Structure 1
Amino acid sequence: MDGIPNHVMLKQYSDQASFSDNHVREIPYQGETAMDIYLQVMNNTPKWVGALMRLRNRITSAIGLKHLGNFDDFAPVKTDYKVGDRVGIFTMIYHSPVEVIMEDQDKHLDVKVSFHITPNGNRATVTASTVVHVKNRLGNVYMFFVGPIHKLIVPATLKKLPSPE
């Protein structure tokens, strides 16, 4: 179901996941870490994704789901994030030079996202993976609507990264 590669640390969280997906993009590489790539992606989220997030927050707040904040508001306040730090809408739960795993959870969902980078000379492969564990009926209803949209958002967001020449 998940398609998350074995070399991605997030794979260990994918057992019995209600939703998972994985997207890959090749980029030019100049020594960036996974965290550098994550921050770059978060700072360059397409405007339509930000608009969807604002809509999501309005709707879900009315039915009892957590308001996550907006991608448009994301501004990293530092560069030396550590496990346990809040980074935008997520909390960092794992950090290495080649992978960062972020999480947000509430009584309905446990969402984990990973950015993994595999350097290969002057290019690198970025793997963006997501795992969601639904905890109740409201979480299932939410994922029914969000799951298909998520499969559009992640590739569109990765396309904002530079292309190799």
Structure 2
Amino acid sequence: MKPGEVLKTTFPAGSRILLAKAGADFSDSYRFASAEPEASALEQFLTLSARTPAWMNFLMSLRNQVVGWVGLKDLGGMAVSDSRKPASSYRPGDRVGIFTLQYADDREVILEDRDKHLHVQVSLFRLGEAELQMSTVVHIHNRLGRLYMSVVGPVHGLIVPMMLRQRGNVR
């Protein structure tokens, strides 16, 4: 796979995120070349997070302002707040950018966000050394979640591939 190439695909066999996909209201998965073949899944997620484009941080800021009007939580920015913290020191339950660490081993990291309107899980899965796969699963809890995903779902399919293509461009 060429650097910068991002392919929408099925969920990877052997991934723990597959367990969460059953009954999901939204899911997608993208395969792309690894920039750090020797790094663990969490290390690679931290690198991706640190390279969040400025436009994405702007969109998150806008999202946080708008959803506050309907009582949803402010997630903050995409990037991890303490970029010096080594991946090996993270434990389940720790915050990792806008997410909470749910599971991590060398091959896969699963992060999540739970709010009253939905439950989002994101997996970064190593496909050997040369490729990664980012998968998202969303379970909607109520009408607010359906409304939220009616806006975010279509945009998600545009933003995630763009972010993965631009991951080498540090803000």
Query: Could you state the TM-score of these two structures normalised by the residue count of structure 2?
Result: 0.85
Equivalence for 2:120: 111
Q: What's the CA shift for 1:100?
A: 0.3
Report the RMSD for the aligned CA atoms in angstroms: 1.7
- Unpaired runs of at least 5, structure 2: 1-8
Equivalence for 2:59: 52
Could you tell me which of 77, 80, 90 is aligned with 1:81?
A: 90
Contact 1:42/1:74 (<8 A) preserved: no
SS in 2 for 1:142: helix
Q: Tell me which amino acid in the other structure corresponds to 2:151.
A: F
Distance 1:125 1:155 in 2: 15
SS in 2 for 1:9: coil
Could you tell me which of 104, 129, 132 is aligned with 1:126?
A: 132
Residue pairs, 1:1-150, within 5 angstroms: 3-71=10-78, 74-79=81-86, 80-120=89-129, 124-150=130-156
Q: Tell me which amino acid in the other structure corresponds to 1:65.
A: L
Distance 2:106 2:140 in 1: 29
SS in 1 for 2:128: strand
Contact 1:43/1:75 (<8 A) preserved: no
Contact 2:117/2:145 (<8 A) preserved: yes
Total equivalences in the alignment: 158
Per-residue CA shift, 1:76-106, capped at 9, x if unaligned?
3511211121111111111100100001101
- Unpaired runs of at least 5, structure 1: none
Q: What's the CA shift for 1:161?
A: 3.8
Q: What's the CA shift for 1:7?
A: 2.1
Q: Tell me which amino acid in the other structure corresponds to 2:137.
A: V
- Equivalent pairs: percent with the same residue? 41
1:63–1:39 CA distance, 2 compared to 1 (3 A): same
Q: What's the CA shift for 1:61?
A: 0.6
Contact 2:52/2:167 (<8 A) preserved: no
Q: What's the CA shift for 1:26?
A: 1.3
Contact 1:76/1:88 (<8 A) preserved: no
Q: Tell me which amino acid in the other structure corresponds to 2:44.
A: I
Q: Tell me which amino acid in the other structure corresponds to 1:41.
A: L
Could you tell me which of 142, 157, 160 is aligned with 1:154?
A: 160
Q: What's the CA shift for 1:46?
A: 1.5
Distance 1:57 1:44 in 2: 20
Query: Could you state the TM-score of these two structures normalised by the residue count of structure 1?
Result: 0.88
SS in 1 for 2:127: strand
Per-residue CA shift, 1:94-139, capped at 9, x if unaligned?
110010000110111100001011224xxx1110000000000000
Per-residue CA shift, 1:43-68, capped at 9, x if unaligned?
11111111111111100011111111
Q: Tell me which amino acid in the other structure corresponds to 2:64.
A: N
